[in-house]
Amino acid sequence: MNIGLVIFDCDGVLVDSERIINHAHAETLRQHGYRVTAEILAERFTGVADADMLGAIAREHGIPTPDDYELRVNSLIDLRCETDLRATPGTHEALTLLDMPVCVASSGIPKRIRTSLRIVGLLDRFDPHLFSATMVTRGKPAPDLFLHAANSMGISPGCCLVVEDSVAGVQAAIAAGMTAIGFCGGNHCRPDHADRLRQHGATSAISDMGDLLPLIGR
């Protein structure tokens, strides 16, 4: 494989944010009458766009999402990220040594992506190559976001390597004709996470970002 572009997911890959986000959503949803936990959200919706997640939950509970939901949950996430968000260990070092084009393709909204990367000091490494599921018709597990990122970067999908922590993300990468590496270093990952990602098409799985460059080299 001639790698021309490495596409990184953001939450759970570059930044260890999934637990913060899932707990904020669970708390806000419970305030509005939804019976849901952070663990359920992590299990079912990691890697899925917020709009798709909230639509599914609203249909299942028969309760429409409140008009101010997005404002309330994003305010809570912002507050906790400013104090608790960290880059995934080894990410700064790996990106410093990675001598090829990179971009971010995330199910998060553009503001969330930029804010998260700014907090952990990674924004300058990727800006302006930040791609959000809000830019395409279908989010992960559909291939649209990754194909949009590759097209915007001028790289053939077959020359793209995707680093993903979610089943939906791995499925999207495979559907786009790209190679997927599973990442299992986030604090939301269970012991069987690597096996799940491989079962859905990841060629390999790593739990330490420092293993990415040797893997690319091989």
Answer yes or no: do 51 and 94 share one domain: no
Number of domains in the chain: 2
Answer yes or no: do 170 and 112 share one domain: yes
CA-to-CA separations, 178 to 138, 164, 173, in angstroms, rounded = 17, 12, 5
Answer yes or no: do 97 and 139 share one domain: yes
Answer yes or no: do 157 and 97 share one domain: yes
Buried b / exposed e over 114-136, threshold 16 CB at 10 Å, is bbbbebbebbebbeebbbbbbeb
Per-residue pLDDT of the chain (218 residues; tens, 9 = 90+): 689 999 999 999 999 887 888 888 899 999 888 888 888 888 888 777 788 888 888 888 888 888 888 889 888 988 998 999 999 999 999 999 999 999 999 998 899 899 999 999 999 999 999 999 999 999 999 999 999 999 999 999 999 999 999 999 999 999 999 999 999 987 777 888 999 999 999 999 999 999 999 888 87
Answer yes or no: do 76 and 104 share one domain: no
Angle, helix 167-175 to helix 144-153, in steps of 10 degrees? 60
Where does 47-108 have alpha helices with state H?
A: 50-61, 69-84, 91-97
CB atoms within 10 A of CB 97: 9
Answer yes or no: do 10 and 48 share one domain: no
Query: Where among 37, 62, 84 does a domain terminate?
Result: 84
Answer yes or no: do 122 and 31 share one domain: no
Answer yes or no: do 124 and 134 share one domain: yes
Q: What is the pTM of this model?
A: 0.84
CATH number at residue 22: 1.10.150.240
Answer yes or no: do 64 and 38 share one domain: yes
Answer yes or no: do 100 and 70 share one domain: no
Domain that holds residue 181: 5-16+86-217
Contact assessment for residue 185 and residue 89, using Cβ atoms and an 8 Å cutoff: yes
- The identity of residue 130, as a single letter, is L
